[in-house]
Every structure is written in C-alpha cells, then in structure tokens.
Structure 1
C-alpha cells in the first residue's frame, strides 16, 4: 500500500512561490502509476503544454510551470491508476498579474443631484474574466474617500446624492484576484450653489411736507372789563414754520410797549392789561405770518360802563 500527497507550486523568473498542499491524499495498493493531464474543459484531450514539466517519483508527482502566463490558467487533473482501478483529483490554477488601471474618467450630469462616470476599459479586461471595477468618492465637506460602487463589470456608474455647493473627486479602480490597480482620477466636479440675495421690499417713500400757512385755532373772543380792572386777551395759532405774532392797537404795534404784558407759549398768544382805562379803548388786532402766508383777527375794547367786545375775525 502507498500514500501520496499532492501540492502545487507557482514559479516564475523571480523564484518559486509557497507550495499549496491539499488536505486529502491518495492511498492505493499496489502503488499506482501517476499520469497528470491538463483539462481544457471542452478540450480534455489536449496534452499538457510542452513547457510544463512533470516529475513522478515513488513519493509523489510534481507539475512545474517554469514561466507561467495567462494561457496556463485552467483546471489540471491528476489521475492515478493501478490494476484495481484509478482515481482523479482536479486543481484549478489561475495565472494573473497586478491589474492595469482603467483609462481616463469622464463626468456627465443629466439629472440634478446625480453624476454619471464613464471610463475607458482596463487593458486587462479582455484577458481576465474576473476583472471588475470599484468607484470611490471624496467631497470637499468630509475630505475622506468612500466606496460608492464595487463589483462593476461595465464601464459606467451613476453616483447619487450629489449636493450643490460642494466639490467632488472620483477614483476608478480595476480589481482582480490579486487586488486593486492604481486609481484613475476624475476631473473635479462641482456645482455652484446660487445664494439668493437677502432683499426687503420697502414701500416707496413719499416725501411729506408738513409746512402750512399760519391760521387761528382759537380766535380772539369778546371781553367785558370795567374800568380799573385787568383785561386778558388770548388766541391760539398754528403754522409751520412757527408764525411770528404781532399785537396791534389801532394799527400801532404793541410788541415793544411795556404797558402790555405779551406772551406766546406753544402757540397760545396772550395780552394782559393790568388796569383798563379810557386810553386802552380801541381795536386790538393779532397778525400772524410766516413764509407761506399771513392771517389776522381783531376785537374792539370799550371801557365805558358797558363794555362791548366786537369780534371782527
């Protein structure tokens, strides 16, 4: 009875790789003959290529590919026989290399909030049926790369959740059984966020003119004053600018006459005669004026036994 262990060693110009052993082994009695053969699926009858070396010994069998290339990939079958029967074991060998990066990346935005990436295929795409693509994204807000799509077997990808006002960077990797390729960088993609200007619609200002010509709010009123008593006369005026007030008796100005006490407080104009006598009889008149006009009102004062105050306003 004989026991056989099988292992596979990958080798190239750089040397041999680590041997790959198998958990199961072959037991036969009497010791079988070993006959490794290459299985090309539909071409099972093809022999092992000439550059492949097979070494058989009492302890095992070795298949050595000194310079491996992608065409050497496939399923290899080792068959052992003796007079009792035969047994077979399959080994899949894939020969690959670091993937080459895809070509230039182009960006297109047809729908707001999305961007579509397209790129030229990697040169290894036709030679490696397991080659696929991965897309990573980085924006100006987070500043860290994040995978947005993986296991892509085409050359186009649409990325969603694209926000306005941010800049985006994209990377496309080609990946196979060994790992990812160097990335192909996309142009910087950014959308400008239009900020509306803060605007307050103010009502149109209307220039208001508060100026007004002088007028009397309360005119002079009749007064009855016996001789020897005081007499108080008053009126209320308005106007803008504030009008100038002048008191007259018989058309003679009284503003500078010290015998009469004249005041003008907040538009209330008054004249006080401390002791009325015959000499105070006559017509009293108030004239108010500003740049917009003039107004006047008058009354008669008679200090006889029955005084009559006549309002001629």
Structure 2
C-alpha cells in the first residue's frame, strides 16, 4: 500500500473511469462539473497523480474489479450527469476505503443514485388577498336637540354593526325641503354623536341626514323624520303630569273619567293622544285642548277603556311625551267550580277553582259559607281566605250541609257563588262518655301557726285582746292557757276562733291579769303552741287630783 495520501473526490472520479473504458470526453465533461463544486483542489491536482491514486484504490480489489466495473461506470456517469452534489458524495465513500473494502464503497453510490431522485421545488404561492371591508350599518335615532333662528343641533346613536374595520367618523348633510342637492355640514369626519349646524337661514325647512363612514365606504343614511323649521322656539313643550297619574289610576266600572293635564309650549303646541299606541276612539273618549292644558273625558267607563294612554305635546321639532295607565275594574265572577272532597267525623273538606273573570284586577280572597239543609240558613265560616281548599269543622252530628264559595277582589265580593252539588252528612256515632278518674288529694296537715302572739301591755280597767292565726287539716282544736293553767269557761275571758284566726279578749283587766298567755292548737296529726307576755299597768294620779278627789 502506498504512503501517499488519498486524492480529493474530484480526482478519484476520473481515475475510476479509466479501467471501465470510459470515452475521453467523460473526464472533459466531469471537469467542469468538478469546477462548479465548492472544493478548489480538483483544479490544481495533475493528471499524473490521479492515475497512481486510482491504481492504488483498485489494486486491493483483485478478482472483483472486472465484475464491478459496470457499477463503477454507473457511479462515474451519475456524478457527471447530476452535477456537483453527487460528486461531493464520492470522496466520502472512496477516501476511507482500503484493500477489500474499496468495492463495497464503490457500490454504495451506484445503488443510492437511482433510488433518490432530485427534489423538485414548487414555485411559492401568491398570498390570499384580504376580503374587502364592509361599511357599517346606519346610525340610529337621529333627533333634534336644539334649534334657533341661525343654528340647529342634532344628535344620534352609534350604528349597531361597525364591521371589521371599525368606524372612522360621521358626515352630516342637509338640504332644503323640496330640493335634491345635499350640502355637507362638516368638512372633516366627526367622531362625536352630536353636531351643531351653524349659519343657517331663518325660516328654512331643512332635511338632515347622518352617514357613518369607515374603510368600507359610506353606510346607509339615517335622516330626521320631519324637516326642521329654522326659527327661535320661545318656550319648549313640557307636560306637567299630576301626581295621582304617576301611578295606576283605578276606576270602577261605570264611573266617569275626567282628567285635566296642564302643559307649557310656545308657539301653540300640537297635542295628540294615543291609547296602547293607537289613536283614541272618538266614540269612547273626548279630548279638549287649550293653550295651557288638555282634558280627557270618558262619560261612562268600561272594561275596554283600560290601557296605557300617552299624551304628546309638540312644537316644531321639539316634543314631550308622558303616559299613564287607566284600569277599569268591577266585581269578580264566582269560582269556576267547587266540590265536596271528603267528610269525616265532624269535618268536611272542600276544593274550588279560581274564577274565569277576575274583574280586571287581582283576586284578594274567598268567602265560604255553610247551610244546614233543615233550615236552609247560610252562615259565613271563613272570610278573606286565600287558598283554594278548606276544611270546615264543628259540624253537628246527624245534620246535612251544603257549602258555597264567593270570590273577593278590590271592588268587593262576587254577586254569585259556586255551590256544592253534594251534601255533607255528619253520621251519628254512639259515644259513651267515661269521666276521667282523679286521685283524691290528701289535704291533711298538722296545726301550724301562721301568725304568732305578740307581747302586749294593758292598762288596769281597760279591755285588751290577744290575736294569732293557725291552719291545719282537719280543723285543729284551740285551747287558751294562762301561766300554763287552762282558762276554760271563765266569764272574764272571751275565746273566738273564726277561719283560722284565734282571739282571746280579756275584759277590764286588773292587776292580777298579767302573766304568760299560751294558745295551743291540736288535731290528729299533731299540735302547735305560741305564747306571749301581758303586762298590766296602774294608772298614776297626780297629788292635786287626789286632793280634789278626797274633797
């Protein structure tokens, strides 16, 4: 093996072509291909050095080179036809190959070349253009805010649909009534929802319209409903609605309705009335208008007169609206049906359904009455009852009852009632009364003094009394003693016992009546004793009085 280093890929390609009897034009064609590759050494290597390098590369593969020569021809021809890219791959396979490994290295490019065709690049596609912008919808609710003899102020609301490009602004145009030429009021677009048109001619009738503008162009125009008269309005219209009409006005069927509603406005306003959005029926309602007020008059109200009444006062382009509600009510109808659901004991259960006619107002309750079939007299058992079922109790055994139900509302109770078709019969049931058994209470009690005796002082010659109180069951026996000696039936003493109060009266006490007095109460359960001390005092007479007594 030679020590010379392996030549570059551009030199190996023509060397391998020589044993395969490649025509002389092949190296000449490959040279330009090699020059196009980025490797520069291919141009400087001499042809003499290329031949020994090719022999050294082919020498170790003896016996196999003839069989593989066609493969080498294909490997040499492929780079020449396909250009610089396959030529650059050749040295990667041939350079490391030495001895017996050269042949497999030569086969790899031959097999890979037809399997991998060169990719074909597609031309880039043109970008999809964006969809064209769409204009916005028309502005909303164009109205007059102010007007005088030289200017007009209008306002409006933004469009509902702005589109993808948004809103650039508004342009306002006007023209005289009857003309076709529109004049642009604003030189530049305005983003505000209000504009003042100045330098106008007094007395003109102008039509005004507003157009929204964005990248998609102009929207549909939104115009004032009526042309505007350019003049000074002295007093704008204003309705002064009475306080009682600010809420619902309720009238009974057949009542008269007479409403006076004042207003302001100059010059004289134009007053119009509507009911539920429709003009008033002149056969039902009369209207009289003056410079300061308007009168709505209905001689006899009916249910059909109920509704929302709206008053509109207009001066040129200015107007004021006010509405109120009139509700004509009457007595309700009876419940649609009533039935007896059940009867048990002394009770009957009823159910009923609401009336078909509520009287044009809400139902406030029901009144339930009962009647004994024997007498036929009706009695009210429930009033202002709010449920649709009730239980009637305290019915008499053996009697049969029918029931009726009235409907109530704000006007009153219905003229008719719904009556049950079936009667509730209270069956007779045998009842045996057994009085309850009570355990007799034992009231027995030993004597006990609730008020004891108190010590006393008495004067000779005067009557005194000792008092105490005792209780006990059975009634205790009371005994009085003086100095532990029973008094007994001594007439000097009077013993009284009444409702548990015991008293001892000592008549005309003397010097010997003083001492300890005891009261003893005794019954079968025990006894009780109380005592007190009685002191008898002598009357002291002065000496002068004694002398007079002796004289």
Structure number having the greater helix percentage:
2
Give the TM-score, by structure 2 length: 0.27
Structure number having the greater strand percentage:
1
**Taking CA–CA contacts closer than 8 Å with sequence separation of 6 or more, which of the two structures ends up with the larger relative contact order?**
1
Give the TM-score, by structure 1 length: 0.43
